[in-house]
Amino acid sequence: MNRRPSPPRIARGFTLVELMVALTLGAIVIASVYTLGANASRHFQEQQRVSQLQLAVRIALERLRRDASMAGFGGTPASALEPACGTVAGTPAFFGVTVADRDTSGMAALGTMAGAAASLVHADRVRFSGNLDTSDIYLVRDYLGTTINLQTDWMGFRRSFANDYAGTISEALFQQTFAPGRVVRITHPSGGTFFAVIASSSFAGTARVTLTASLPACADVCTGCTIAPLSGVEYFLAEAPAALAPVNAAATGPNTVLMRGEWNLSTGASIAGTARPILEWAVHFDAVPIVNTAALGVVPPTLVPQVDTSVAGVGALRPSAIYALDLTVGARTPEQDDRFPWIAPAAGDPLTRFRAFTDRPGAMRVRTARAEVLLPNIAYRGM
């Protein structure tokens, strides 16, 4: 049979219009994917910064909470109110807890930012005193004049200063704990309490502490007395040290930090060189004492917040009236986000936004942590 030949096939391609449409659609898809990916990446990075900020705030509050809970431990709510048969020359007067409302140095540090409104942020200064180094008391072996020798086989002493299983005493640690200028609390077996300033300390087989003045005659030889080294720590907002200055100050604004330092119980002054930052980009630090306004011995107590405590302790109230501290710590992200609008919070509202630049859109995110810390060594002394 004869087969008829097939007609030749005609090869067809894409027209120029089809190519243009395909390229346009492809470009739109690629641009959309890129935009979504860039936004997702930016959002992820912002959430990472916020998460790290929140973690840093919680760690700083935990450090503050630990010191606050130890306030007055081994020390006193108020040194001037402790019962004693006499006084030591040069005895300092100090409190277990002191709160300065709206600390001027902290507010000045926050005021360096152009958009920081003084009514929106808060800066306090809180001071604690007590045996914050070793959390132990020690037994006096004998006392003569201004020299006190400690019982080195006392369990508390070895627990604090022995640095190995053989019981080798660390002289450096002992001298650091009983450093010159610090204060010791000496409790007599008869119940008297004395405070004295340390002149020097040494350990050469005998743990010896020398005071700047002798104990009163009514303290006898003080054999059987206990002694506790007292130190002070303080928290406050300040401008960041040079090492923590922002790389681009025009973009991030001045860096304010929450500082932790030591203060001298005998002079009441901050000890230079001891302050260390524990939280960067801090913009809020508030400490509100919860005080008992009822008379001493009245049960149950009447607890109210004492907002303005610019005087040492709580002003005219008795020192042990402070039952707790309501602590709030807040910090911001370094840069303003133009997608996060600035909305000024109303009075009394928590601080959630912060603006360091009025000539720039957006605001910085703020994360805050808050805790109420009981002060058992202050409230339960009945002073």
DSSP letter at 78 equals B
Q: For the chain, what are the domain ranges?
A: 46-379
**pTM, whole model, 2 decimals?**
0.84
Q: What number is the average pLDDT over the span 305-331? A: 72
For residue 191, pLDDT beyond 80: no
**For position 270, what pLDDT does the model report?**
93
Q: What number is the average pLDDT over the span 104-109? A: 90
Q: What number is the average pLDDT over the span 274-292? A: 92
Give the 3-state secondary structure of residue 15. Answer: coil
> Please, which pLDDT band fits residue 311 given cuts at 50, 70 and 90?
very low
Specify the amino acid at residue 377.
N
Q: Is 72 left (phi over 0), alpha (psi -120 to 50) or beta?
A: left
Q: Choose among 129, 147, 150, 146: nearest CA to 88.
A: 146
Six token digits for residue 362? 């957006």
Q: What percent of the chain has pLDDT over 70?
A: 88
Give the 3-state secondary structure of residue 162. Answer: strand
**For position 312, what pLDDT does the model report?**
44
What is the per-residue pLDDT across 329-375, written as a single tens digit (0 to 9) for each? 999 999 888 888 998 887 778 888 998 888 889 999 999 999 999 99
Specify the amino acid at residue 145.
G
Give the 3-state secondary structure of residue 67. Answer: helix
Least confident of 149-153, 203-207, 269-273: 203-207
> Please, which pLDDT band fits residue 310 given cuts at 50, 70 and 90?
very low
Q: Where are the beta strands (DSSP E) in the chain?
A: 97-100, 125-130, 138-144, 147-150, 183-187, 193-203, 207-211, 226-239, 256-263, 276-279, 282-292, 303-305, 322-332, 353-354, 364-374
The rounded mean pLDDT for the chain is 84
**For position 116, what pLDDT does the model report?**
61
Which is more confidently placed, 72 or 2? 72
> Please, which pLDDT band fits residue 37 given cuts at 50, 70 and 90?
low
